[in-house]
A and B are shown apart, each in its own frame.
Chain A
Amino acid sequence: MNIAKPNSYRSGPDERGHFGIFGGRFVAETLMPLILELEKAYSEAKADPAFQAEMNGYLKNYVGRPSPLYFAERLTEHLGGAKIYLKREELNHTGSHKVNNVLGQIMLARRMGKKRIIAETGAGQHGVATATLCARFGLECVVYMGAVDVERQQPNVIRMEMLGAKVMPVQSGTRTLKDAMNEALRDWVTNVHNTFYCIGTVAGPHPYPALVRDFQSIIGNETKAQMQEIEGRLPDSLIACIGGGSNAMGLFHPFLDDPAVEIFGVEAAGHGLTQLHAASIAGGRPGVLHGNRTYLLMDADGQIQDAHSISAGLDYPGIGPEHSWLHEVGRVTYLSATDDEALAAFQLLSKLEGIIPALEPAHAIAKVVELAPKRPRDHLMVVNLSGRGDKDVPQVGDILRGKK
């Protein structure tokens, strides 16, 4: 690709929310004043040491950070190549990385005086994290979830309800994450006066992609310090799965200007890239949806196509705009893993390490299985274990017992 290499990969977005041609603020006028207000509130909060201090307190004592960087010894032995470390985001309160971002956004919502929180969710992990922090801070919580996902992620639906959130099954379109996001945007347009939209990934209109990235960057910052402490140096490669790309961006961003660190994002290849899948970089092209320009799955007329992934959290026809840019400038390599590869990796990690991963990071593990054997034994590979698999146990159990 003929794109000039920037001086830094970490300076975006520009003041209009662009990462190269990607990003932007493609939203209805009704939302624009609030988005500008959010941008202002966020830049003030960022500069306020009290905000950081309060957040750090909750990150430590409520979320349970730092999350360990764990040497996966048996997986490493089994694959016979790179030394594999797992960044244990699945040990966070609520069971995934999603809580890092939600905590930040809920604290912003409080600063802005918003009492009603809405969110979209796919796997339900973002919904659970949002419901959890709304319970903690006494805020009203409404979560939009595609009807298909309500079905396949029942444990999380029950959790959200126990936490006092209202789960709204979305029946429009493909009844998955993209439609949940449409419905959340419709709610926001309607209730803009009192409502804060807590977006679950590094997508949506500016400033969301930057703000979610910043809140998730704690993953990469901790990893850097922990690896320094354990091995005395930087890792050689990073791998993370990509739905919208927030766990990946959180791990990657602090390392983008360390040129020796190889970085891999893993999209969901579903039934395979020539069939139904959710790999927007591998199978899509730039378009505009949900407030930003980014790689999208669509037909020749610009109509958004149905995505498919076994994992509800990756079942989305787009990707965060900063990833689209990192792809075009060639800093990050985007791979994909199929449903079957993810299922195999899900079982492998469970049996070898005693860690049942969520189906989402199982996609990243699937590529570790492919890449690690080709790397030398002193190669340090970090994979983001973005969530735990409890929510997937019924679904995977049915598949393995041949029921689905």
Chain B
Amino acid sequence: MTTRIDTRFAELAKQGRPAFVTFLMAGDPDPATSLEIIKALPKSGADVIEIGMPFTDPMADGPSIQAAGLRALKAGMTLKKTLELVRGFRKDDNATPIVLMGYYNPIYIYGVDKFLVDAKSAGVDGLIIVDLPPEEDDELCLPALKAGLNFIRLATPTTDDKRLPAVLANTSGFVYYVSITGITGAAAADSTAVSEAVARIKRHTRLPVCVGFGIRTPETARAIASHANGAVVGTALVDALKNSLDAEGRATARTVNAVAELTAALAQGVKGAQQAAE
């Protein structure tokens, strides 16, 4: 199978530039504004869009993304509405890959088989599920691959050479390298360590490797992206969104632009990077 993710990374490889991957929470600060924001991302330079599925207990996320999830839940977001959001986005964009990222419980409760059918038909291309390591592949990873969705795995600084093959075995689309041991929103890793880690992963796989956690500025994005096939930015975008809200946490006239502008600046940074040697 070839997904929009595979196609996009192949195009980028041809152009010799790394991908800029954005992360925002579905339904933050409300479902309608969230759709407007996501629609604005490709025009602002996002190559791949990750959309967070809100969850009450995001154990690998820092305060910014925790708060984003709670804003979305308060605004009535559900997994079903997250899929509707993707469907809404797909009305005018059939090329930009969409990856849903989050925790397993809402999917388990929705029903794995029904979720995979609905996600595929809504236009989702891949899944990143933080609390499903390879030891739990039977739960969702293998069914997702069968359903034609990519299952993108996180590799981390603790994933050593011995463990990497197990982590990569059923991974598809791309590999997401978490540059630090830590939660989202923590400090960035230095680019030398990242470049060594990416090189190490590339000895085990031909998949593109994107790097995330702790990238906040166009400069860091450039530095990191020059050692990888892509850079992921989440917390900084979520913070820009939050800073545009009014005192009650509601969207203002500035909200969509605030996210779009930072996206454009970060995209500039990533595009300034040299593609990592294959």
The interface of chain A, by Cβ under 8 A from chain B, is 16, 24-34, 172-173, 178-179, 182, 185-186, 189-193, 287-291, 293, 296, 298, 300-304
Contact = CB atoms under 8 A, between A and B. Distances in A.
A288 B183 contact: no
B109 A28 contact: no
16 contacts: A28-B156, A30-B178, A31-B158, A33-B163, A34-B158, A172-B63, A186-B59, A190-B183, A287-B108, A290-B57, A290-B59, A300-B109, A301-B106, A302-B109, A304-B56, A304-B57
A33 B158 contact: yes
B57, B108, B154, B167 pick with most chain A CB within 10 angstroms: B57
Given A29-B154, A302-B105, A303-B56, A189 B163 contact: no
Contacts of A29: 133, 153-156, 158-159, 167, 178
A84 B40 CA distance: 69
A189 B133 contact: no
Given A28-B133, A189-B182, A302 B59 contact: no
Interface in B118-174: 130-133, 135-136, 153-160, 163, 167
B135 A189 contact: no
Contacts, number: 117
B159 A33 contact: yes
Chain B interface bracket (under 10, 10 to 19, 20 to 34, 35 or more): 35 or more
A173 B56 contact: yes
Nearest to A306: B56
B263 to A, nearest CB: 26
B32 interface: no
Interface in B57-76: 57-63, 66, 73
Contact of B186 (A173, A190, A301, A304): A190
- What is the predominant secondary structure among interface residues of chain B facing chain A? loop
Contact of B60 (A189, A288, A304): A189
A27 B167 CA distance: 13
A286 to B, nearest CB: 8
Contacts of B155: 29
Contacts of A290: 57, 59
Given A16-B135, A26-B131, A185 B59 contact: yes
A238 B130 CA distance: 39
A190 B79 CA distance: 28
A303 B73 contact: yes
B28 to A, nearest CB: 15
Interface in B226-255: none
Nearest to B153: A29
Contacts of B178: 29-30
A41 to B, nearest CB: 16
Contacts of A28: 59-60, 130-131, 133, 154, 156
Contacts of B66: 172
A287 B66 CA distance: 20
B181 A189 contact: yes
Contacts of A30: 60, 154, 156-158, 178, 181-182
Given A25-B136, A189-B183, A192-B158, A289 B106 contact: no
A28 B103 CA distance: 10
A113 B88 CA distance: 52
A250 to B, nearest CB: 26
Contacts of B55: 302-303
Nearest to B70: A173
A220 to B, nearest CB: 30
A291 to B, nearest CB: 7
Contacts of B159: 29, 32-33
